[in-house]
Each structure stands twice: as C-alpha cells, then as structure tokens.
Amino acid sequence: MLKAAVEGPPTQAGRPLAAVIENDVVLRRLVVRILERAGFACVAAGDVSDGISALWADPVDVAIVDLGLPGLSGLVLIDHMTAVFPDTAVVVVTGDSSRSTAADAQERGADSYLLKPVAPDQLVLAVDGAIRSRRGTVAAAHKGGAEETVTRLLRVAEARDKETGHHSGRTGRIVAALGEELGLEEVEVQRLRRAALLHDIGKVAVPDEILHKPGPLDEDERAQMRQHVRVGWQILAGSDDPPLPLASVIALAHHERWDGGGYPLGLSGEAIPLEARITAVADVFEALTSDRPYRKALPVEVARSMLIDGRGTHFDPQVVDAFLASDTIGQIIGRGDAATEEGSIADVTLHGARQRAVRVRRDAVPGRVGLGHLHDELDAQPDDRELTTS
C-alpha cells in the first residue's frame, strides 16, 4: 500500500485530513480505510449538506467527492469548495464516465477525476497528487482570486435558487446606478456593484422549506431567515482581496434600518455603512417588483411609493432621493426581468454617470394614492418576508 507523501502543516493528529463525501456507505467506508492506511486522517459524509458541515468543522486538505450524491449534485459541492475553501484539493470518484461531466467537474475546480472502481494505489496517488498540485498553485489562485470567488459564490447561490442569482444581478445594477447618482467615482461604483452581488449569499444556509415557502413565515422561520446576514458575513469576512471585505459588510448590514429598527445590530442613521444603505434600497425595490413564492411582483409605482414612505424610517433619505432621480434606474426597470443567469455574474457597464448628489421632494413623485395597507406593512413589518426581501 502506498503512503501519503505530502508534507506541510498537519491538520489532524499530524496527518493530512481528507473528507470522503460518498453516498454509498460500503464504498465510503472502504475509501476511508484505504486513506487511513496510507497515512491520512479522515472525516466522512453522505450528502452535500453533511459534506459542507465537515469542511467547516476542520481545515481539510483534500475532499474525495462522488458526483451522484442525493439531493444536490456533487458539482454544487465543488462550486462551494472552490469559492469558500480554495486551499482544499478536490478528487472526484464517480461512476459517470461522460467526458462532458468530467470536463465540467475539472472546469469547476476538481484536481483529479477517477472512475469507479478505483484501485487503492490509484486512489492514494490521485489524492496525494491533488494536494501537491493545489498547494503549488494556491498562491497564484489567490492573486487574482477575488473575482473568481465572486463568480463561484454566485454559482453556489444560483444552484440553490436560480431566482437568487437573477435578484442579485439586478440588485447589483441598481446599486451601481445609485452609486453614480450619489457621486461615487467609477472605480468605487464598480467595486460596490460587485460586492452587492453577494449581499444574500448567506441564504445558502437557509432550508429550502423556508426559502421557498409560499406563505408567511412563523417566528421560528423568520429567526432562521434572519441568520442569513450573519452567515453571509462569516462566508465573506477575513479576506483582504477586493471586493470581499466590502461584500462582507454589505451582507451583514443590508437589513439595518435608518431609524434603528433593523437587524442584526440595530444600527441607525450614518452608523450604517453607506454601501449597505444603498444596497438596502436596491434590494427592497428589486424584490418588490419580482415574483416571489408567496406573491406576484408588485407594480413599479407601488414599489416606488413604498420606498418613498420608507424614506427617513427604513431607508436613508438621500439614497431614496437618488433612486427617484436616476435615469439609469429607469432604464434598468424598463428592461424588466430579462437578465440571464450569466448576466447575474457578468460585468455591466453603466453609462451616463452624473457624479452628483441629489435632493428630490417626496411629493414630486406620483403613485402614492390607494396604497395604505402596503405603506402600513412597510412601517410595521421590518422583516424579510413582509418586505419581500427574503
């Protein structure tokens, strides 16, 4: 039996740590036994959810992933690892001999692709080589990895819920238009747009039955939904590569309210980072004007009127005023929901930046008649589902 040849910082009991994520119990135990005999420490899981938990529990050197996992595909797990655990090598062990599947797995970040049944020595060599390869390229990957990380994280979010990807893409475009209207420099606008794309990344941890529930959330469900801001911050925090530090702040603070009634920290006024105040307006408007599991999209004028009524309570007045004054946002709204899945992660060039702050009178905007119950709901229900920003 070959022994692991990799050297470096030990992960567990002085040995490199391997996560074996395989649906078949017998095969999972066999792979663990082979790797332990070769000098690895091992943790095991039978599906994507347990696999992600194992990856978060300890720093894993290599993951051995079956693509045919129950529920979410192993490809989704590879996307998650590439985005969140870029130092972890990935070896795919599967019965799928399709060349397109193998190419897809390698494109998503797999270091090696093995077909079942796998000989013990072949497995050990592949795992050992994958770790060496990943360690040899990780520095280069980190150098330009921030943009790749944004893309990969968006793929993870879209794998859970395609509508989240479309929502993030259009929210990012509205955020950029607001940044222009408020006078931010172009480089700041583009950094803000990229960061805002990840504002809801924490929803990857929200159970499907809550994320897609067709009716109102109960108190326990609402509490779980609200955890997405902290989870998003935990996923994104700790990197020095732009736009991830800014993205972590936006993820944490985009549900704070101007009047202090938001969450998770209860910040108010200018204590809320400007980028989060901008994202809050874009996020709510985009959600209001899109179909959700629990209601159809609201008319644009209804959503616009709700922003006006939230001016100075839920939202920063200056950001609402910028929204109402922006010609670019009018163009985005006019395009409707035509954004493609690729568009949610593509760079968007916005034209006509006016580089100025604006002030608009609230009574200058039409569409505020006959919306009483919606306005009351905006003021009385500062949580995700009632504001349709879940």
User: Each residue of 253-263: pLDDT tens digit?
Assistant: 999 999 999 99
Cα separation, 357 vs 114, whole angstroms: 57
pLDDT at 376: 34
Among the listed residues 239, 355, 210, 369, the one whose alpha carbon sits nearest the alpha carbon of residue 304: 369
Could you read off the pLDDT of 310-340 as tens digits, one per residue? 999 999 999 999 999 998 887 777 644 333 3
Q: Output the CATH code of domain 149-380.
A: 1.10.3210.10
Among the listed residues 317, 297, 309, 320, the one whose alpha carbon sits nearest the alpha carbon of residue 375: 309
Sequence-separated (6 or more) residues with CB below 8 Å from residue 226: 255, 263, 264, 383, 384
Burial of residue 331 (CB within 10 Å: 0-12, 13-18, 19+) is middle
Q: What share of the chain is helix, strand, coil (3-state, %, to 5)?
A: 55, 10, 40
Burial of residue 359 (CB within 10 Å: 0-12, 13-18, 19+) is exposed
CATH class given for the domain over 17-143: alpha beta
Give ranges for CATH 3.40.50.2300 in the chain: 17-143
Q: Is 71 helix (H, G, I), strand (E, B) or coil?
A: coil
Cα separation, 286 vs 174, whole angstroms: 8
Number of other residues whose CB lies within 10 A of the CB of residue 327: 12
The kind and range of the H/E element at 109 are none
Give ranges for CATH 1.10.3210.10 in the chain: 149-380
Cα separation, 216 vs 198, whole angstroms: 25
What phi, psi does 324 have (nearest 5°)?
Answer: -70, -25
pLDDT at 31: 95
What is the chain's alpha carbon radius of gyration, rounded to the nearest angstrom? 23
Cβ pair 304, 326 in contact under 8 A: no
Number of other residues whose CB lies within 10 A of the CB of residue 309: 21
pLDDT at 208: 86
pLDDT at 255: 96
pLDDT at 170: 85
Cβ pair 256, 267 in contact under 8 A: yes
Number of other residues whose CB lies within 10 A of the CB of residue 319: 23
Among the listed residues 26, 29, 18, 27, the one whose alpha carbon sits nearest the alpha carbon of residue 51: 18
Number of other residues whose CB lies within 10 A of the CB of residue 259: 15
CA distances (Å), 8 to each of 15, 16, 190, 378, in order?
Answer: 9, 8, 39, 55
Sequence-separated (6 or more) residues with CB below 8 Å from residue 333: 289, 300
DSSP code, position 91: E
Spell out, as residue ranges, where the chain has pLDDT lower than 50.
2-12, 143, 335-390
Q: Which amino acid is at 159?
A: A
As a whole number, the mean pLDDT across the chain is: 79
pLDDT at 53: 87
What phi, psi does 181 have (nearest 5°)?
Answer: -65, -30
Task: Report residue 85 as tokens.
Answer: 């655990």
The kind and range of the H/E element at 264 are none
Cα separation, 158 vs 209, whole angstroms: 16
pLDDT at 164: 61
Cβ pair 258, 269 in contact under 8 A: yes
pLDDT at 138: 57
CA distances (Å), 153 to each of 58, 160, 164, 374, 388, in order?
Answer: 20, 11, 12, 34, 22
